[in-house]
């Protein structure tokens, strides 16, 4: 229900052959296409930095607020071609963003470029994730008399890059990123390019966020998700493993390790909600994972369903695979009781009630819903406000007999400090409906019948059932199982030191009724 917002998506491309063999714009064209396929990862801004050795601005950055098509003016061909001509190049990096820290203006949009007279010190970068020890790093930079203008974690990354490039000797990029790994706590996939044309795409040592790459004769590329590469590469899409980087320099590309990793912590939410269903992350099909999640929901179903009275309805679009699978395993129909309006874009109008936004986004298919007992399948519930509005809308306009909400993700009871915009406990519906002792108990996997009943009443459904932790782990089937997944928002067991530290701060802020993102 778009209640949980993600940080961003990355893209990088190097074109080994002469630019005349590629479409207008070269790298700019491919970056536009790659970002467009990853629009699910951020709709706030889009930007690219390209390299062209024949251009006075050897690397040059273009970024705008809005979706990818809005940023690249695709609805005005003349202007779109003008952007491709101006920013055309043989290589480059790009990003789509959603803000999990700082403001939402163009100044916070990425990539971020830093000019310098020396070409290897003139660079641009973008990153995907969230630096959990942002406050400590900012404090240290202030002590060293750095002036932080934006006061967001992107600026922290910028200054640590510049510190690595002090002096006359050009450092090895494995050393540069190794130094970042020693200082940063959290999630931080990074793409990087300098005015010598050297490029790096790196995945953090715990591998919170996915990162794919492909090396071909006429195309070398990397993207947060494999779908970013599918239109240009038929075979050979691989994963950059945690603690590794892809280095592209002097026409060659190779994978190098820059940091050791004692454990991995792949974000479970990528499989449940964020990633494109067509993506393959760390060797696992997102679509098939969602099918298994739906199957596991069906296995735990307590209702005595039949194909005459009951139907399964997905909340479009990410919950559809789970809904279809659940229905198939229950032996009942999966129908489109909700039709998503795909022509509703972002809105800048403030003060619109959530009920009205739900009506703008979804159309009720009354012919399907009327008189039925509906099993409504959603991928996750974070704050519950949209769920409540949607259920009320279905009841009023759909004339259903009953609504039973099923969620393919377990209850979200703890904040995220690694790139999902839910960093306080007070905003989470599951946490709000648990007693103080239950809410603060780390490792608890059962929400309890009383809390579940309170959530059910708040949302307004006839019954409510979440996925179990075991059902989630079995559905994703990541190598190594639960120990290699980050499910901190479900269990409170954070994989990093600063994550555990921020949890205590979030709990203290909740008691004081203090608002604002915990890590800022």
* Residue pair 165/121 in contact by the 8 Å Cβ criterion: yes
241 secondary structure, DSSP code = P
Alpha carbons 241 and 255: distance in angstroms, whole number: 9
* Residue pair 165/173 in contact by the 8 Å Cβ criterion: no
* Residue pair 238/253 in contact by the 8 Å Cβ criterion: no
The pair of structure tokens assigned to 116 is: 């310098």
**Coil, strand, or helix at residue 420?**
strand
User: What is the enclosing helix (H) or strand (E) of 363?
Assistant: strand 362-364
> Up-side HSE of residue 10: CA atoms within 13 Å toward CB?
29
* Residue pair 223/233 in contact by the 8 Å Cβ criterion: no
* Residue pair 429/384 in contact by the 8 Å Cβ criterion: yes
ω into 64 cis (within 30 of 0): no
95 to 108, 138, 266, 314, 475: CA distances (angstroms):
12, 24, 21, 30, 30
Q: Among all residues, which ones are annotated catalytic? A: 8
Alpha carbons 109 and 103: distance in angstroms, whole number: 9
Alpha carbons 52 and 309: distance in angstroms, whole number: 63
């Amino acid at each position: 229900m778009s209640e949980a917002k993600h940080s961003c998506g990355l893209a990088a491309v190097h074109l080994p052959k002469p630019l005349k063999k590629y479409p207008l714009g070269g790298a700019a064209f491919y970056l536009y296409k790659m970002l467009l396929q990853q629009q699910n990862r951020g709709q706030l801004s889009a930007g690219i930095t390209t390299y062209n050795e024949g251009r006075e601005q050897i690397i040059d950055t273009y970024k705008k607020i809005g979706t990818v098509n809005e940023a690249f003016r695709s609805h005005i061909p003349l202007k779109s071609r003008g952007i491709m001509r101006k920013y055309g190049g043989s290589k480059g990096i790009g990003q789509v963003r959603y803000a999990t820290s700082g403001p939402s203006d163009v100044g916070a949009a990425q990539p971020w470029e830093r000019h310098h007279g020396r070409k290897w010190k003139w660079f641009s970068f973008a990153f995907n994730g969230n630096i959990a020890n942002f406050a400590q790093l900012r404090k240290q930079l202030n002590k060293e008399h750095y002036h932080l203008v934006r006061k967001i974690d992107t600026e922290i990354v910028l200054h640590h890059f510049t510190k690595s490039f002090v002096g006359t000797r050009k450092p090895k990029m494995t050393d540069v990123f190794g130094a970042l790994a020693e200082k940063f706590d959290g999630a931080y996939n990074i793409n990087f390019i300098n005015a010598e044309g050297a490029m790096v795409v790196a995945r953090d040592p715990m591998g919170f966020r996915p990162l794919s790459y492909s090396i071909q004769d006429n195309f070398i590329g990397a993207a947060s998700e494999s779908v970013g590469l599918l239109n240009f590469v038929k075979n050979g899409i691989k994963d950059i493993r945690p603690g590794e980087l892809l280095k592209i320099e002097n026409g060659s590309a190779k994978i190098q390790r820059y940091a050791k990793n004692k454990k991995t912590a792949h974000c479970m939410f990528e499989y449940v909600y964020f990633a494109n269903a067509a993506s393959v992350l760390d060797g696992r099909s997102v679509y098939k994972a969602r099918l298994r999640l739906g199957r596991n929901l069906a296995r735990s179903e307590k209702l005595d369903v039949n194909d005459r009275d009951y139907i399964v309805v997905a909340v479009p679009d990410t919950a559809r695979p789970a809904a279809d699978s659940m229905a198939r395993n229950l032996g009942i129909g999966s129908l489109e009781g909700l039709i998503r309006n795909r022509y509703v874009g972002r809105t800048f109008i403030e003060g619109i009630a959530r009920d009205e936004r739900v009506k703008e986004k979804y159309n009720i298919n009354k012919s399907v819903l009327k008189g039925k007992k509906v099993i409504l399948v959603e991928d996750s519930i974070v704050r519950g406000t949209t769920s409540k509005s949607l259920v009320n809308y279905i009841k009023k306009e759909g004339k259903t007999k009953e609504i039973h909400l099923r969620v393919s993700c377990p209850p979200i009871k703890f904040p995220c400090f690694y790139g999902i915009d839910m960093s306080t406990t007070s905003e989470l519906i599951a946490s709000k409906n648990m007693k103080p002792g239950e809410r603060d108990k780390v490792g608890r996997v059962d929400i309890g019948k009383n809390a579940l009943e309170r959530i059910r009443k708040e949302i307004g459904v006839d019954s409510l059932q979440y996925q179990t932790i075991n059902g989630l782990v079995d559905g994703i089937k990541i190598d190594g199982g639960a120990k290699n997944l980050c499910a901190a928002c479900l269990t409170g067991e954070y994989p990093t030191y600063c994550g555990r530290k921020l949890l205590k701060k979030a709990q203290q802020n909740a008691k004081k009724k203090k608002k604002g993102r915990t890590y800022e």
